[in-house]
């Protein structure tokens, strides 16, 4: 039998590639072939899913300190993950972040570097941001925005949040107090007018423009096309071709809840498998009770205990895959 391990990362414990490899080991033990395909939904991990970094550039970090940001340039296509230049982890997490000062300047500097090196296609992956600046830092950092008109400019989003809702929805996750959320919202509302006046684009009308604290909207003002992150990744890795010769899919992520079935990897793989009448199961760190019936699944925390699931996630994932395959008598 041929199994496709099409998985997202388990945030904080295992990369998507590590998860796929663990499932591959289980398949090998039972004599099955396995295609290991790390995936992402446009947020953190998308750079790895699209081939991984092959260069590094020194840019302005989210709080102003220089950071070495990994990114990819291959055959004229640049892949930039904003979290690598302007991410919350780079700011020291929610506790150390300054949600008012946090800037997307470094992401703009990466876009500028890609243009300087002759990129004909630029993919910017959003998610994991420290910022609520509406993308203004990035917009200002791109020295000659007119150059973007000569390239295919795509932004991969994993949310549909409106531009002026970005601070309300994501601000608290980035350390913003209620008063700061109100300040940031007012600032975003003013930016709508700035982008309208300077670029003739009404970012308040664009679905997903609030992604990464409004970075999606700022890049849309410069002509970027916002697309669902999973769809972009699926197209780039030719997922349709992979699924044409597969008997079963094992997918997974760290925490499965209702959001998992709103454009994320697990829900999207479930839809694709259903359309093609392919068996599918999911391995997840934890599973919310409300979605347990959505897909045949194994929770690592429930099966192995929280301590073991977090201490040895890959061991647990491999044994969960063995359980799935044996239960199906495959």
Instruction: Supply the DSSP string of 149-163, one letter for each residue.
Output: GGSEEEEEES----G
Give the mean pLDDT of 292-313.
Answer: 96
Is the CB of residue 59 less than 8 Å from the CB of residue 53? no
Is the CB of residue 258 less than 8 Å from the CB of residue 290? yes
Do 27 and 129 lie in one domain? The reply is: no
CA atoms within 13 Å, Cβ hemisphere of 291: 20
Q: What is the pLDDT of residues 28-80, one digit of tens each?
A: 999 999 999 999 998 889 999 999 999 999 999 999 999 999 999 999 999 99
Cα angle 209, 54, 113 (rounded to 5 degrees) comes to 55
Which domain covers residue 133, as residue numbers?
A: 46-230
What's the pLDDT score for residue 326? 93
Complete edge-to-edge strand list for the sheet that includes strand 55-60: 55-60, 66-74, 77-81, 121-125, 152-157, 225-228
Q: Which of 179, 204, 230 is the last residue of a domain?
A: 230
Q: What is the mean pLDDT of the chain?
A: 96
Q: Which of 180, 197, 230 is the last residue of a domain?
A: 230
Is 158 a residue whose pLDDT tops 90? no
Give the mean pLDDT of 11-38.
Answer: 96
**pTM given for the model:** 0.92
Q: What is the CATH number of the domain that holds 298?
A: 3.40.50.10350
Do 18 and 96 lie in one domain? The reply is: no
What's the pLDDT score for residue 329? 65
Do 179 and 284 lie in one domain? The reply is: no
Do 264 and 322 lie in one domain? The reply is: yes
Is 179 a residue whose pLDDT tops 90? yes
What's the pLDDT score for residue 237? 94
The packing angle between helices 211-221 and 178-199, to 10°, is 10
What's the pLDDT score for residue 228? 93
Q: What is the pLDDT of residues 96-118, one digit of tens each?
A: 999 999 999 999 999 999 999 99
What's the pLDDT score for residue 7? 98
What's the pLDDT score for residue 43? 85
Is 330 a residue whose pLDDT tops 60? no
What's the pLDDT score for residue 298? 96
Q: What is the pLDDT of residues 248-295, one digit of tens each?
A: 999 999 999 998 998 899 999 999 999 999 999 999 999 999 999 999
What are the b/e assignments for 56-77, b being 16+ CB within 10 Å?
ebebbbbbeeebebbbbbeeeb
Do 108 and 174 lie in one domain? The reply is: yes
pLDDT band at 328 (very low <50, low <70, confident <90, very high): confident
Q: What is the CATH number of the domain that holds 54?
A: 3.90.1510.10
Do 65 and 123 lie in one domain? The reply is: yes
Q: Which of 230, 248, 269 is the last residue of a domain?
A: 230
Do 162 and 291 lie in one domain? The reply is: no
Do 28 and 78 lie in one domain? The reply is: no
Do 164 and 17 lie in one domain? The reply is: no
Do 146 and 64 lie in one domain? The reply is: yes
What is the number of structural domains in the chain? 2
Do 125 and 247 lie in one domain? The reply is: no
Structure tokens at 220: 């849309």
Q: In sequence order, which residues have a C-beta less than 8 Å from that of residue 122 and are 6 or more positions away?
A: 77, 78, 80, 111, 114, 115, 148, 151, 152, 153, 154
Do 211 and 270 lie in one domain? The reply is: no
């Amino acid at each position: 039998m041929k199994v496709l391990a099409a998985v997202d990362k388990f945030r904080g414990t295992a990369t998507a590639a590590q998860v796929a490899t663990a499932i591959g080991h289980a398949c090998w033990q039972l004599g099955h072939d396995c295609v290991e395909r790390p995936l992402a939904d446009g947020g953190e991990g998308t750079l790895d899913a699209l081939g991984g970094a092959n260069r590094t550039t020194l840019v302005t970090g989210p709080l102003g300190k220089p950071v070495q940001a990994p990114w990819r340039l291959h055959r004229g296509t640049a892949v930039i993950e904003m979290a690598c230049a302007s991410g919350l982890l780079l700011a020291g997490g929610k506790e150390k972040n300054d949600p008012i000062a946090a800037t997307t300047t470094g992401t703009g500097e990466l876009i500028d570097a890609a243009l300087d090196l002759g990129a004909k296609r630029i993919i910017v992956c959003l998610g994991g941001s420290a910022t609520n600046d509406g993308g203004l830092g990035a917009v200002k950092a791109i020295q000659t925005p007119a150059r973007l008109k000569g390239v295919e400019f795509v932004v991969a989003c994993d949310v549909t949040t409106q531009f002026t809702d970005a601070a309300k929805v994501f601000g608290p996750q980035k350390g913003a107090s209620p008063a700061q959320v109100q300040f940031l919202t007012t600032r975003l509302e003013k930016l709508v007018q700035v982008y309208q006046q300077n670029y003739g684009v009404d970012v308040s009308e664009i679905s997903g423009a609030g992604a990464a604290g409004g970075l999606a909207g700022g890049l849309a003002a410069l002509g970027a096309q916002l697309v669902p992150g999973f769809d972009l990744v699926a197209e780039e890795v030719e997922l349709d071709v992979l699924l044409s010769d597969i008997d079963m899919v094992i997918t997974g992520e760290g925490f499965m809840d209702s959001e998992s079935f709103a454009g994320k990897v697990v829900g999207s793989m479930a839809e694709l498998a259903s359309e093609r009448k392919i068996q599918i199961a999911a391995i997840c760190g934890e599973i919310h009770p409300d979605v347990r019936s959505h897909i045949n699944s194994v929770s690592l925390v429930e099966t192995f205990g929280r301590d073991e699931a977090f201490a040895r996630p890959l061991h647990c994932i491999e044994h969960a895959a063995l359980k799935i395959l044996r239960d199906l008598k495959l």
